[in-house]
């Protein structure tokens, strides 16, 4: 009998302990579920607010909200050209800045005739260090700039190991991808602050989400732009300035000329025109966005992957792209 009593007492104590732990685990599970549900609801609302609702409603009057003129760098091809066209479509006068005068003349004329806006252009090679900025500053001094799009950047052309990059490529990356955004912002921001309105859009990349080997300098420059954008926004938001970091993934442009797959439009790779149309609708709504709902999902996934997994994936895919560039079929 004594043994039975001891067993019964032990059973009750174990049951009581298990009951406590079960209740504790249930509370933890409920808290986790609520947290995930709230996160999912917030994410869904954010996606709808950025990528669905603006398309359903009327277009924002960008001239009234920010100003009459926009400056777009590297604006004769790809995202820069498409973004300039979208701005012009909304009645904003355009100042194109790039290094090829013939292309600038053609794009300037096309935008002016198609959208019935004023256009100007400035020939500038951002890889030349400090050289182009006095002329740019002089050309913009009498213009009321409402929007600045820092799109110019430098990509090596293919994924490669850091020690295989030339010194010229390293300096060009610093000058075009980092210095240009700093200097262009420094030129136009005082005028925006003076009139207490303006927007600056910096084209970063999904590569700013994680350290990405084989595109080390390009990725690092995009991380810089992302950080720079967010910090400047906090500095000048109270003065009426909106600064946005755009973090797109692959877009069907000629940025990677040797790889037809990367240049081809697909479900995840919109054309530059399609991307710009979506991205511009997020202006004034989000300080950090991929600008396209499919890219938003990719960016969220990239941020949540373990760093080692992202790095291994980058090494694998970058290695394939590198081989294609070095040994084209």
**Residues known to be catalytic:** 218
State both tokens at 32.
Answer: 């986790």
Find out whether 226 and 208 touch, Cβ atoms under 8 Å: yes
SS3 of 329, please?
Answer: coil
Find out whether 79 and 210 touch, Cβ atoms under 8 Å: no
Q: CB 301: neighbour CB atoms within 10 A? A: 12
Q: What is the DSSP string of 139-186?
A: HHTTS-EEEEEE------SS---GGGS-HHHHHHHIIIIIIHHHHHHH
SS3 of 212, please?
Answer: coil
Calpha distance 208→299 (Å, rounded): 9
Close Cβ partners of 214 (under 8 Å, ≥ 6 residues apart) = 159, 160, 161, 314, 315, 318, 319, 322
Q: CB 114: neighbour CB atoms within 10 A? A: 11
Find out whether 218 and 159 touch, Cβ atoms under 8 Å: no
Calpha distance 288→327 (Å, rounded): 38
């Amino acid at each position: 009998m004594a043994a039975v009593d001891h067993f019964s007492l032990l059973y009750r104590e174990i049951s009581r302990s298990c009951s406590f732990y079960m209740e504790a685990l249930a509370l933890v599970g409920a808290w986790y579920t609520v947290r995930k549900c709230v996160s999912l609801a917030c994410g869904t609302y954010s996606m709808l607010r950025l990528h669905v609702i603006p398309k359903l409603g009327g277009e924002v009057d960008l001239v009234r909200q920010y100003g009459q003129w926009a400056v777009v760098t590297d604006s004769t091809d790809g995202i820069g050209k498409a973004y300039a066209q979208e701005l012009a479509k909304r009645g904003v006068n355009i100042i194109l800045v790039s290094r090829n005068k013939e292309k600038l003349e053609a794009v300037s004329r096309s935008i002016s005739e198609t959208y019935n806006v004023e256009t100007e252009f400035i020939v500038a090679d951002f890889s030349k260090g400090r050289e182009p900025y006095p002329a740019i500053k002089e050309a913009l001094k009498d213009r009321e700039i409402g929007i600045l799009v820092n799109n110019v950047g430098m990509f090596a052309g293919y994924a490669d190991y850091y020690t295989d990059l030339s010194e010229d490529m390293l300096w060009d990356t610093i000058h075009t991808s980092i210095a240009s955004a700093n200097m262009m912002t420094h030129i136009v921001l005082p005028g925006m602050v003076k009139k207490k309105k303006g927007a600056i859009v910096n084209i970063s990349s999904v590569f700013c989400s994680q350290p990405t080997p084989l595109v080390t300098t390009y990725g690092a420059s995009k991380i810089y732009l992302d950080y720079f954008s967010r910090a400047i926004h906090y500095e000048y938001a109270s003065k009426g300035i909106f600064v946005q970091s755009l973090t797109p993934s692959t877009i069907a442009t000629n940025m990677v000329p040797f790889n037809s797959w990367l240049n081809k439009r697909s479900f995840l790779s919109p054309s530059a025109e399609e991307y710009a149309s979506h991205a511009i609708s997020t202006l004034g709504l989000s300080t950090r966005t991929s600008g396209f709902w499919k890219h938003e999902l990719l960016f969220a996934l990239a941020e949540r992957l373990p760093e080692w997994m992202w790095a291994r994936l980058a090494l694998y895919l970058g290695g394939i792209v590198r081989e294609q560039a070095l040994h084209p079929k």
